[in-house]
C-alpha cells in the first residue's frame, strides 16, 4: 500500500536557536527580565522578530532590548551582565540546523 | 280601707285627667269626642292582614287629622304610639308566616326570583302598615325601627345568600344603568327595608368577587400589552355606575355622590390592583421566559407594586420558581444563563433601583459559579457567532468596557439613598450593562480571559483557510470589554496565524511541500501539551525538510513540532481501491506504518510511535477499521485490508469514500482530557443518582444520563469512565452494581 | 504599561512565595514595588550569632537595570550590625550594590551576599570614617560614591 500525503496542516512552536534545546521544559529565561526567551521583554508586546535575542561572544544570551537598556547606562561599563567581560556581539553563523530536533 | 289622703290624691288625679281629656269642653263632650278620635286613629293605624280579601275602609284624611289633633291636644300621643306598637307586635306574625313560606320555597329551589318576590312583598307589608307622614316623623321612625328589628330577627341565614345572588345579578346580568327599571325598583326596595346597610359588607363582597373574576378572566396569560388602562376604563364603565345605588343613594349631584363613594371606590380600586398583582406574581416565571413578548405584563406589575406593597411576595415567587424550574442538573447551562439575562431585563423594568433583582439573582449566580462550563458558555456567547441561537450579547447595545462594582460616591449631587427594603448587602450598581453583570458572577476577569484564550486557540487551529478576519473582529470587541492588556495574548495568537502564512509562502517558494504548519509562540497560547510521539516514515522526512527550510529562512530559530495536533489529508492506494481520508496525525502515523508491513500488533505500533496510551491507539485504529482499511484479526493484532473484505456487520460500498473523522476542534488538551473534562460534568449527575438511589447497574445509569442535556457517550465509554472513577476511589462495583464510596 | 521594575519584582516575589527565602532571610514586607523589608540573621558560628537585623530595599522604575538602594534599618528597636563596611546609619559599603551591580542579580542574591559579608567578618567594628560619614550622609546611599577597598563580594 502506498500512502500519498495530500496536505498536512501541522502545528509547531518556534524556538530561538540558543544551542540548548534538548529539554522540553519551560525554556530558559533572559537573565535581565527573567522572562523566557520565547516571550517578550517588558517593553514589548510581541515576541519573536519584534523582540529578538542578542548573542554575546561570551556565549551569554539576552533579549536585545534588555541588554541594550543595560548597556545604555554608565554603570554598565559596557560589560556583559553575567560575567562582566566587555560585551561583544557574536557573529551569527548561518543556521546550525543540526540542532533541529526531530 | 283607703285613707282620706289617698282618696284625695286619686280624686285629684281623676280630675286632672278629666280636665285634660275634656279640654274645657262643656260637660263631657270633650271626653266623648276624645274617645271617638282615639278609636278612629287607633283603628286607622292598626296593621291589617294584607291577605285578607275584606275590602279596606276608606278614611277621610281630614277626619284623621282632626282626630290626631284632638289626641295631641290631650297630650295622649305617646300613649297612642305605644298602643300602635303593641298592635304592630300582635300583627307581625302575619309577616313571619309569609317569610317562612317564601324562604322554604327558596331553600328548595334556590331561585333568586323567590327572594326578589319576597323583598317586594315585604315592601308591600311595610308600606301598608306605615303611618302617614302627616302623623309626624317620630311615629314613622319608631314604626320603621320596630318593623326592621322584627324582620331581621325572623329572616333565616339563607336569606343573605339570596340577597348576595340578587345583588350579583344586578352587576353581572344586564349592563347596570341606574335608569334600569328593574334594578332601580330592587334597590329602592332594599333601601326601604334598610337591607343595604345591613348587608353592606355582602354587597361589597359582590363587587370584590366580580372585579376579581373579571381581572382573572381577561388578564390571565395576556402579557403582550399593559392591561391596567383597560381595567381602569372598565371600572369606570361598569363598576362605578353599579356602585351608585348601594353606596351613593340620596346624593343630589355628582360631587356628592363621589364623596360618598370614595371609601368603597378606593377599596375596589385597590382590589383590582391587588388581583392583577397577585396574578402576575404567580405568572412571573413564565413571563420572564416569554420576555420580551411579555413586556406589557411587566409594566403592569411595576405600576401595581407601587400601589400594592407586595414586593416580598414577588421575590418569593421568583425564587421558588427559579429553584424548582431552573437551577437543577437537567437544565442546560446555556438556558440558565439566558434565563438569568431575561430575569435581569425583566426586573429592571419592574424595579429600576435593582433591589428585587439583587434579592433574586444571588442563588442563580451561585449556582452558575458551581457549574464547570459556565465560563465557557459565557465566553462563547461573547464571541457570539450567531449559530448558537440566542446570544447573550445584544448587538444593539454599544460595546463598553466592563464595569466594576463601584463604591458609593456620597459626593455625587445625584446620589439617592437606597430603597427601604434593600438588605444590608445591597449595592446599587449604576446601570451595569448585562455583560458586566454576568461577568461579575466571578470575582476576577482572569478566568474569562483564560477561557477566551482557549476558545480562540481552538478556533484558530481549526481554521482551514487561515482567514482570521472573524476572530480579529471578535478580539477587537473583546478588547473594549476587557481592556487591551488582558487580551495581549490573543493579539499574539492572531499575529502568529498571519505570520505562519507568510513564513509558509516563503518556505514553499524555496521548496514546495504539502506541509503547511501553523507556527505558534509557545508562551502566548494556552497549554498545548507537547507530545512525544514520533511521526514515522515520510512524515518524519516532511518534518525534517520543513524545519530545514524554516531555519534557512529564519536562521535564529528552530521548530518544535506538536505532532499530535493538526490534520492530515491523505490518499491510500490499496491493491484494489483508493481511500481518501482526512484524519488526525496519530491516525496518519499508524497507517504509515502499515505501508511498511501489513500486520502489526498494538504493542509494536505503540513502541514505534511512542508516548501514546493504549486507548488512544485503539481509538485511532478504530477509525481505520471503520473505513474498512484495517481489520482486527484477533485481540491486539491489526491487518491491512489490501483487498477489500466483506465485513460481518453489513456491507459498505467499496467505492472510494471520502471519510472524515468527525470534525473535532483541535484538543487544547488531549482528546482524552477534554472528554474527561466533560465527563466531570456528568459525574455530578451520577453522584446524585447514586446518592439518592443507592447501587445501580451500568445500563440504568446510562439510561438516566441520556436525560441529561447533550449527553452523547456510548455505554462503553460510560463503562470506562466508571472504571476510571473506581481507580480513583470514587465508586466501587459489586455484582455488576455501582455505588459510591471506596 | 507596567514598569519593568514592577514586572521583575512580581516575578521575584512569586519565586519567594513559591520557593521561600534563603536560610536566615525572611521577607517582612513587600506590599508594593517601591520598598521591601527583610530580616537577616547570620546562621551558624559567627560574630553576629543570635543577632537579627533588618534590611530595606528601595527600587526605582528601572530596576533591575538600575541597582536598588539597600541599607540596614536603624530605629529605636533595632541597630545596624557593627561591621567595617556598615555605617551606623545603616548604609552599606558593598561593591555589589554599586559598581559591581548587574541586572542579572536579584534581591535574594543581595541578601545572600550581605549575609556572607557578615559571616566572614573578622572584627566587630565600625568603618573608620563612620562619624564623619554619618553626619553628612545623604538619605539615599546610592548617592554616595563609596570606595570599595577590599573584596566585599
For the residues of B664-721, what is the DSSP string, one character each?
A: PPPPSS-HHHHHHHHHHHHHHHHHHHHHHH-SEEHHHHHHHHTTSTT----HHHHHHH
> What was the pLDDT predicted at A93?
60
**Run of H or E residues at B460:** helix B446-462
Shared domain check, B83 and B157: yes
Task: Kindly give the parts of chain B with pLDDT less than 70.
Answer: 1, 173-182, 384-400, 402-418, 420, 422-432, 530, 646-677, 707-710, 742
The question of whether C93 is a catalytic residue gets the answer yes
Q: Is A98 on the interface with C (CB under 8 A)?
A: no
Residue in A15, A39, A46 closest to B557 by CB? A15
> For B106, how many CA atoms within 13 A lie in the half-sphere containing its CB?
25
CA dist B452 and B447 (Å) reads 8
C-alpha B188/C-alpha B722 separation (Å) is: 84
Short-list B522, B520, B517, CA closest to B549: B517
Residue B375 has which C-alpha cell?
465560563
- Establish if B475 touches chain A: CB-CB under 8 angstroms: no
> Looking at residues A1-17, what average pLDDT do you find?
89
Same-domain pairing of B604 and B550:
yes
Phi, psi of A81 (to 5 degrees): -65, -25
Contact flag A66-C66 (C-beta cutoff 8 Å): no
Give the pTM.
Answer: 0.64
Answer with the one of B191, B206, B237 that is the final residue of a domain: B191
* B343, B354 Cβ separation under 8 angstroms: no
pLDDT digits (tens, 9 = 90+) for B10-55: 888 888 888 777 777 777 777 887 888 888 888 888 888 877 777 7
A79 vs C contacts (CB less than 8 Å): 102
Residue B176 lies in a domain: yes
Cβ distance of C7 and A33 shorter than 8 Å: yes
The radius of gyration computed from the CA coordinates of chain A, to the nearest angstrom, equals 17
Domain boundary among B157, B174, B191: B191
8 A C-beta contact, residue B729 and residue B739: no
Residue B186: its H or E element: helix B181-192
The neighbour count for residue C143, using CB atoms within 10 Å, is 10
8 Å CB contact of A14 and B521: yes
**Residues in a beta bridge with B558:** A15
Structural domain range at position B732: 671-740
H/E element holding B732? strand B731-734
Let me know: does B674 contact B717? Beta carbons within 8 Å.
Answer: no
Number of structural domains chain B divides into:
3
Inside any domain, residue B507:
no
Cα gap B269→B414, rounded to integer Å: 35
Backbone angles phi, psi at B581, to 5 degrees: -150, 150
Tell me which residue of C92, C95, C71, C74 sits closest to C83, measured CA to CA. C92
Which structural domains are found in chain A, ordered by start? 48-92 (3.30.40.10)
Which residue in C3, C12, C104 is closest to A81 by CB distance? C104
Note whether residue B103 is domain-resident.
yes
Residue C84 has pLDDT above 80, yes or no: yes
Q: Which residues of A touch B488 (CB under 8 A)?
A: 45
- C-alpha cell at position B428: 446599587
Q: Give residue A32's pLDDT band: very low, low, confident or very high (50, 70, 90).
A: very high
Same domain, B626 and B714: no
Interface contact flag, A75 C101, Cβ < 8 Å: yes
Give the pLDDT confidence of B247-275 residue by residue, as tens digits. 887 778 888 888 888 888 899 999 999 99
Distance, in angstroms, between C127 CA and closest chain A CA? 25
Cell 471520502, located at residue: B658
Pair B634, B700 in one domain: no
Chain A residues touching residue C99 (CB < 8 angstroms): 75, 77
CA distance B402 to chain A (A): 23
What is the least distance, in Å, from the CA of A85 to any CA of chain B? 24
Q: Are residues B635 and B560 in the same domain?
A: yes
- Is B714 in the same domain as B634? no
Inter-chain residue contact B538 with A14, CB threshold 8 Å? no
Pair (B537, B681) in one structural domain: no
Interface predicted TM-score of the whole assembly (ipTM), two decimals: 0.87
Q: How far apart are CA B559 and CA B299, in angstroms?
A: 63
Domains and CATH numbers, chain C: 4-137 (3.10.110.10)
Name the grid cell of A92: 551569527
Given the residues C21, C23, C93, C111, select the one marked as catalytic.
C93
Residue B609 and residue B692 share a domain: no
Residue C56 to residue B559: CA distance in whole angstroms? 45
Q: Could you give the CA distance from residue B262 to residue B248 in angstroms, rounded to a whole number? A: 10
**Which candidate from A45, A46, A100 shows the least CB-CB separation from B548?**
A100
Nearest in space to C59 (alpha carbons), one of C36, C38, C25: C36
What pLDDT shows up at residue C3?
Answer: 81
Residue A29: its chain B contacts at CB < 8 A?
none
Instruction: Say whether both B187 and B67 belong to one domain.
Output: yes
Task: Identify the pLDDT of residue C53.
Answer: 94
B588 in a structural domain: yes
Residue in B183, B55, B57 with CA at minimum distance from that of residue B116? B183
Task: Say if B157 falls within a structural domain.
Answer: yes
Closest approach of C75 to chain A, Cα-based (Å): 32
Beta strands A61-63 and B567-573, pairing class: unpaired
CA distance A8 to chain C (A): 39
**How many Cβ atoms are within 10 Å of A75's Cβ, its own excluded?**
14
Sequence-separated (6 or more) residues with CB below 8 Å from residue B557:
A14, A15, A16, A17, B550, B551
Q: Which of A47, A53, A97 sits opposite B524 (nearest CB)?
A: A47
Question: In the listed set B191, B216, B251, which residue is the last one of a domain according to the structure?
Answer: B191
Q: Indicate whether B615 and B690 sit together in one domain.
A: no
> Are B678 and B637 contained in the same domain?
no
Q: Which residues in chain A are closer than 8 Å to C62, comparing Cβ atoms?
A: 69
Q: Looking at residue B691, which CATH number applies to its domain?
A: 1.10.10.10
Q: Does A3 touch chain B (CB under 8 A)?
A: yes
- A:16-45 residues touching chain C, CB 8 A cutoff: 31-35, 42-43
Residues in Cβ contact with B250 at an 8 Å cutoff, skipping those fewer than 6 apart = none
Chain A within 8 Å of B727 (Cβ-Cβ)? no
**Is there a single domain that holds both residue B39 and residue B134?**
yes
- Which of B464, B523, B544 is the closest to A102 by Cβ? B544
C-alpha of C127 from chain center: 17
- What 3 state SS string does C25-68 have? EEEEECCCCCEEEEEEECCCCCCCCCCEEEEEEECCCCCCCCCC
Give the residue from A34, A62, A78 with the most C CB atoms within 10 Å of its CB, the best one to mutate: A34
In-domain check, residue B32: yes
Strands B557-561 and A11-16: antiparallel
Contacting residues of C for A84, CB less than 8 Å apart = 100, 102
Long-range pairs of B94-101 with CB within 8 A, sequence gap ≥ 24: B94/B47, B94/B49, B94/B50, B94/B51, B94/B125, B95/B122, B95/B125, B95/B150, B95/B151, B95/B154, B96/B150, B96/B154, B98/B125, B99/B151, B99/B154, B99/B155, B100/B154
Q: Which of A2, A7, A8 to mutate to test the interface with B (most CBs of B within 10 A)?
A: A8
Assign residue B194 a region (left: φ > 0; alpha: ψ between -120 and 50; beta: otherwise): left
Taking CA–CA distances from A94, the nearest residue in chain B reads B555
Judging contacts by C-beta atoms under 8 Å, the chain A residues touching residue B527 are: none
CATH code, domain with B591: 3.30.230.130
In DSSP terms, which residues pair with B738 in a beta bridge?
B696, B733
Amino acid at each position: 500500500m502506498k500512502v500519498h500525503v495530500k496536505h498536512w496542516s501541522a502545528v509547531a512552536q518556534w524556538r530561538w536557536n540558543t544551542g540548548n534545546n534538548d529539554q522540553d521544559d519551560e525554556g530558559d529565561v533572559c537573565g535581565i527580565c527573567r522572562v523566557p526567551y520565547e516571550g517578550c521583554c517588558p517593553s514589548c508586546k510581541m515576541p519573536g522578530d519584534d523582540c529578538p535575542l542578542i548573542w554575546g561572544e561570551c556565549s551569554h544570551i539576552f533579549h536585545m532590548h534588555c541588554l541594550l537598556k543595560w548597556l545604555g547606562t554608565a554603570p554598565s561599563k559596557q560589560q556583559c551582565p553575567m560575567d562582566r567581560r566587555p560585551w561583544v556581539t557574536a557573529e551569527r553563523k548561518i543556521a546550525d540546523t543540526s540542532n533541529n530536533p526531530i | 280601707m283607703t285613707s282620706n289622703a289617698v282618696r284625695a290624691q286619686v280624686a285629684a288625679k281623676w280630675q286632672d285627667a278629666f280636665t285634660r281629656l275634656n279640654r274645657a269642653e262643656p260637660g263631657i263632650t270633650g271626653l266623648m269626642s276624645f274617645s271617638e278620635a282615639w278609636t278612629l286613629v287607633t283603628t286607622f293605624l292598626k296593621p291589617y292582614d294584607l291577605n285578607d280579601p275584606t275590602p279596606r275602609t276608606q278614611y277621610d284624611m281630614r277626619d284623621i287629622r282632626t282626630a290626631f289633633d284632638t289626641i295631641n291636644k290631650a297630650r295622649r300621643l305617646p300613649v297612642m304610639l305605644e298602643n300602635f306598637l303593641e298592635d304592630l307586635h300582635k300583627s307581625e306574625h302575619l309577616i313571619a308566616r309569609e317569610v317562612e313560606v317564601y324562604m322554604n320555597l327558596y331553600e328548595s329551589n334556590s331561585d333568586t326570583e323567590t327572594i326578589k318576590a319576597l323583598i317586594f312583598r315585604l315592601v308591600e307589608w311595610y308600606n301598608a302598615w306605615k303611618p302617614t307622614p302627616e302623623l309626624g316623623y317620630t311615629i314613622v321612625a319608631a314604626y320603621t325601627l320596630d318593623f326592621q328589628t322584627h324582620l331581621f330577627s325572623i329572616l333565616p341565614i339563607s336569606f343573605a345568600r339570596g340577597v348576595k345572588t340578587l345583588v350579583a345579578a344586578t352587576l353581572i346580568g344586564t349592563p347596570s344603568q341606574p335608569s334600569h327599571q328593574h334594578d332601580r325598583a330592587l334597590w329602592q326596595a332594599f333601601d326601604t327595608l334598610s337591607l343595604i346597610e345591613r348587608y353592606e359588607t355582602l354587597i361589597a363582597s359582590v363587587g370584590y368577587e366580580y372585579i376579581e373574576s373579571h381581572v382573572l378572566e381577561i388578564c390571565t396569560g395576556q402579557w403582550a400589552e399593559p392591561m391596567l388602562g383597560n381595567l381602569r376604563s372598565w371600572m369606570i364603565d361598569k363598576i362605578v355606575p353599579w356602585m351608585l345605588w348601594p353606596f351613593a343613594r340620596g346624593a343630589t349631584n355628582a360631587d356628592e355622590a363621589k364623596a360618598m363613594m370614595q371609601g368603597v371606590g378606593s377599596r375596589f380600586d385597590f382590589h383590582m390592583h391587588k388581583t392583577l398583582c397577585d396574578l402576575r406574581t404567580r405568572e412571573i416565571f413564565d413571563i420572564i421566559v416569554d420576555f420580551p413578548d411579555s413586556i406589557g405584563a411587566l409594566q403592569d406589575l411595576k405600576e401595581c407594586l407601587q400601589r400594592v406593597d407586595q414586593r416580598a411576595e414577588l421575590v418569593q415567587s421568583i425564587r421558588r420558581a427559579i429553584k424548582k424550574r431552573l437551577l437543577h442538573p437537567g437544565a442546560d447551562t446555556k438556558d440558565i444563563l439566558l434565563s438569568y439575562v431575561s430575569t435581569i431585563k425583566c426586573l429592571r423594568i419592574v424595579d429600576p433601583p435593582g433591589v428585587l433583582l439583587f434579592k433574586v439573582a444571588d442563588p442563580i449566580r451561585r449556582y452558575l459559579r458551581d457549574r464547570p462550563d459556565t465560563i465557557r458558555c459565557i465566553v462563547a456567547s461573547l464571541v457570539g457567532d450567531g449559530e448558537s441561537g440566542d446570544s447573550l450579547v445584544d448587538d444593539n447595545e454599544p460595546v463598553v468596557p466592563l464595569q466594576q462594582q463601584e463604591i458609593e460616591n456620597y459626593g455625587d449631587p445625584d446620589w439617592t439613598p437606597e430603597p427601604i427594603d434593600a438588605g444590608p448587602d445591597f449595592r446599587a450598581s449604576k446601570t451595569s450593562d448585562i455583560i458586566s453583570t454576568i461577568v461579575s458572577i466571578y470575582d476576577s476577569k482572569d478566568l474569562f480571559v483564560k477561557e477566551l484564550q482557549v476558545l480562540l486557540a481552538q478556533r484558530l487551529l481549526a481554521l482551514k483557510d487561515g482567514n482570521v478576519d472573524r476572530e480579529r473582529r471578535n478580539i477587537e470587541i473583546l478588547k473594549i470589554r476587557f481592556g487591551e492588556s488582558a487580551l495581549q495574548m490573543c493579539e499574539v495568537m492572531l499575529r502568529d496565524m498571519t505570520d505562519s502564512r507568510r513564513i509558509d509562502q516563503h518556505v514553499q517558494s524555496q521548496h514546495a511541500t504539502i506541509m503547511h504548519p501553523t507556527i505558534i509562540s509557545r508562551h502566548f497560547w494556552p497549554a498545548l501539551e507537547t507530545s512525544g510521539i514520533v511521526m514515522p516514515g515520510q512524515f518524519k522526512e516532511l518534518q525534517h525538510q520543513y524545519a530545514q527550510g524554516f531555519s534557512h529562512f529564519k536562521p535564529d530559530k528552530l521548530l518544535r513540532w506538536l505532532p499530535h495536533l493538526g490534520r492530515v489529508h491523505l490518499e491510500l492506494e490499496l491493491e484494489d481501491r483508493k481511500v481518501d481520508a482526512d484524519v488526525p496525525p496519530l491516525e496518519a502515523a499508524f497507517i504509515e506504518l502499515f505501508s511498511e508491513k501489513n500486520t502489526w500488533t498494538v504493542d509494536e505500533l505503540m513502541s514505534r510511535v511512542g508516548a501514546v496510551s493504549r486507548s488512544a491507539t485503539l481509538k485511532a485504529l478504530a477509525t481505520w477499521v471503520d473505513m474498512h482499511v484495517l481489520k482486527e484479526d484477533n485481540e491486539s493484532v491489526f491487518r491491512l485490508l489490501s483487498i477489500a473484505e466483506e465485513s460481518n456487520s453489513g456491507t459498505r460500498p467499496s467505492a472510494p469514500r471520502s471519510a472524515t473523522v468527525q470534525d473535532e476542534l483541535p484538543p487544547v488538551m488531549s482528546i482524552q482530557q477534554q472528554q474527561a473534562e466533560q465527563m466531570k460534568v456528568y459525574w455530578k449527575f451520577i453522584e446524585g443518582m447514586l446518592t439518592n438511589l443507592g447501587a445501580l447497574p451500568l445500563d440504568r445509569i446510562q439510561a438516566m444520563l441520556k436525560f441529561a442535556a447533550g449527553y452523547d457517550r456510548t455505554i462503553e465509554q460510560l463503562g470506562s469512565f466508571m472504571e476510571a472513577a473506581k481507580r480513583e476511589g470514587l465508586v466501587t462495583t459489586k455484582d455488576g452494581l455501582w455505588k459510591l464510596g471506596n | 504599561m507596567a514598569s519593568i521594575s514592577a514586572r521583575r519584582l512580581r516575578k521575584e516575589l512569586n519565586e519567594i512565595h513559591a520557593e521561600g527565602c534563603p536560610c536566615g532571610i525572611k521577607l517582612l514586607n513587600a506590599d508594593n514595588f517601591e520598598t521591601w523589608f527583610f530580616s537577616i540573621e547570620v546562621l551558624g558560628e559567627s560574630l553576629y550569632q543570635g543577632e537579627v537585623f533588618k534590611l530595606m530595599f528601595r527600587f526605582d522604575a528601572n530596576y533591575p537595570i538600575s541597582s536598588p538602594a539597600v541599607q540596614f534599618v536603624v530605629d529605636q528597636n533595632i541597630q545596624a550590625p557593627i561591621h567595617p563596611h556598615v555605617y551606623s546609619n545603616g548604609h552599606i559599603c558593598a561593591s555589589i550594590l554599586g559598581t559591581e551591580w548587574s541586572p542579572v542579580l536579584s534581591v535574594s542574591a543581595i541578601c545572600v551576599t550581605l549575609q556572607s559579608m557578615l559571616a566572614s567578618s573578622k572584627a566587630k567594628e565600625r568603618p573608620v570614617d563612620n562619624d564623619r560619614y554619618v553626619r553628612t550622609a545623604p538619605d539615599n546611599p546610592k548617592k554616595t560614591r563609596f570606595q570599595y577597598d577590599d573584596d566585599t563580594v
